[in-house]
Amino acid sequence: MSKMNIGGVMEEVVTDDEFTLEKAREVLKDETIAILGYGVQGPGQGLNLLDNGFKVIIGQRESEKEYWDKAIADGFVPGKTLFPIEEAAKRGTIVMMLLSDAGQKMVWPVIKPYMTEGKALYFSHGFSIVYKEQTGVVPPENIDVILVAPKGSGLTVRRNFLDGSGINSSIAVFQDYTGRAYDRTCAIGIAVGSGYLFPTTFENEVYSDLTGERGVLMGCLAGVMEAQYNCLRKNGHTPSEAFNETVEELTQSLIRLVAENGMDWMYANCSTTAQRGALDWKGRFREAVVPVFDDLYERVKSGKETAIVLDVNSAPDYREKLQVELDAIKNMEMWRAGAVLRELRPERRKK
């Protein structure tokens, strides 16, 4: 583990130079990794593990045909490497809980009997453990409880692995019964394609993750985009102009500069007019949203947000209602304009 000065704070980071893939294979050579849930994170982590030479089986409800069939299409074989959830949990020595948070609450009573001495229970989110009063997920004391949380969607985990760029992940050990929990954690972190790992706790992971998703990463981003697009349209700008100034320039140009070398570098490589305006206005936007973020973080920490997630996502008609909400976004003028304008990108017109 390396100590690095990150933003003036000394932090510990594990890279794949220090904890190599070969070391990960040695640590996990006798393990059977059972992935429960083949929805969002399951395919990315599962296929990366498989490509890296680890023994992987999938646990999935056959009644959820979309995910069962996807696992088969990806090469998993019913009765050999693809099983009902209970059977996979029984066979696995490391059981990866990659079901939705509501799904984990539902399935925990079924798989708990199979979490026998010396096994490891793995999460990619601290939700079930931290909010145990709401989920009922209380692991037995004679197993390891570990976390590897890739900082990206399941699609990104897989795409970055295939293009060789990898993805960073946070790691945590909640319970170390075997004395090998830390090595198991690092080994799987590297095995699923992480370029580097940074230690955290289950609590910090879930608090930061839920805040980020509702904030800058998704909720805030979408809301701010809608506000600016609507402002431009209200003032007579065309849909294409409003979309380009709100979304296309951000995603196709500016955010790439931020990713390369940071926000200061992006500012330095824009026009002087853009620089001046951004520097003058960023403080006003920051101060405007500080109260919103303070409220959001408190709601996350108190469990109010997770209570909503568990209640809504456990409803029998959840997927139907979700689709209505997603369709409402898809059918907004801004995103209908985006669908048309994306097809004008040179790489798409050349296909």
Sign, Cα dihedral of 72, 78, 80, 85: positive
Active site (catalytic) residues: 125
Q: Is 286 in the same domain as 141?
A: no
**DSSP three-state, residue 206:** helix
Between CA 211 and CA 219 the distance in angstroms is: 10
Q: Which CA distances in Å does 262 have to 12, 115, 158, 222, 230?
A: 21, 44, 25, 22, 28
User: Which residues have CB under 8 Å from 80's CB, separation 6+?
Assistant: none
Q: What is the helix (H) or strand (E) element at residue 220, kind and residue range?
A: helix 219-234
Q: How do residues 78-97 score in pLDDT, each as one tens digit?
A: 999 999 999 999 999 999 99
Q: Is 180 in the same domain as 226?
A: no
Residue 262, domain member (yes or no):
yes
Question: Taking residues 147-164, what's their average pLDDT?
Answer: 91
Q: Is 225 in the same domain as 126?
A: no
Question: Taking residues 18-42, what's their average pLDDT?
Answer: 95
Q: Tell me whether strands 194-199 and 9-15 are parallel, antiparallel or unpaired.
A: antiparallel
Q: Is 225 in the same domain as 108?
A: no
Q: Is 101 in the same domain as 168?
A: yes
Q: Tell me whether strands 94-97 and 120-123 are parallel, antiparallel or unpaired.
A: parallel
Tokens of 328: 């409402």
Q: Is 327 in the same domain as 181?
A: no
Residue 1 is predicted with a pLDDT of 66
Among residues 167, 200, 233, which one ends one of the domains? Answer: 200
- The pTM of the full predicted model, rounded to 2 decimals, is 0.90
What torsion do the CA atoms of 310, 311, 315, 319 make, to the nearest 10 degrees? -60
Q: Is 216 in the same domain as 121?
A: no
Q: Is 125 in the same domain as 267?
A: no
Q: How do residues 293-333 score in pLDDT, each as one tens digit?
A: 999 999 999 999 999 999 998 898 998 999 999 999 999 99
Residue 77 is predicted with a pLDDT of 96
Tally the domains of the chain. 2
The CATH number for 165's domain is 3.40.50.720
Q: What is the DSSP letter of 28?
A: T
Q: How do residues 239-289 score in pLDDT, each as one tens digit?
A: 999 999 999 999 999 999 998 999 999 999 999 999 999 999 999 999 999
3-state secondary structure 142-197: CCEEEEEEECCCHHHHHHHHHHCCCEEEEEEEEECCCCCHHHHHHHHHHHCCEEEE
Q: Is 163 in the same domain as 217?
A: no
Question: Taking residues 152-163, what's their average pLDDT?
Answer: 90
Task: Look up the domain containing 176 and give its range.
Answer: 2-200
Q: What is the helix (H) or strand (E) element at residue 14, kind and residue range?
A: strand 9-15
Between CA 193 and CA 205 the distance in angstroms is: 19
Contact 97, 105 (CB under 8 A): no
Query: Among 152, 155, 88, 144, which Cα is nearest to 116's?
Result: 144
Residue 44 carries which side chain, given as an amino acid letter? G
Q: Is 126 in the same domain as 250?
A: no
Tokens of 243: 């979309």
Query: Among 255, 245, 254, which Cα is nearest to 225's?
Result: 245
Residue 16 is predicted with a pLDDT of 87
Residue 261, domain member (yes or no):
yes
Residue 206, domain member (yes or no):
no
Q: Tell me whether strands 94-97 and 2-6 are parallel, antiparallel or unpaired.
A: unpaired
Q: How do residues 171-187 score in pLDDT, each as one tens digit?
A: 999 999 999 999 999 99
Among residues 200, 227, 259, which one ends one of the domains? Answer: 200
Between CA 165 and CA 64 the distance in angstroms is: 32
Between CA 321 and CA 44 the distance in angstroms is: 26
Among residues 200, 233, 256, which one ends one of the domains? Answer: 200
**What is the full DSSP assignment across 247-267?**
IIHIIIIIHHHHHHH-HHHHH
Residue 234, domain member (yes or no):
yes
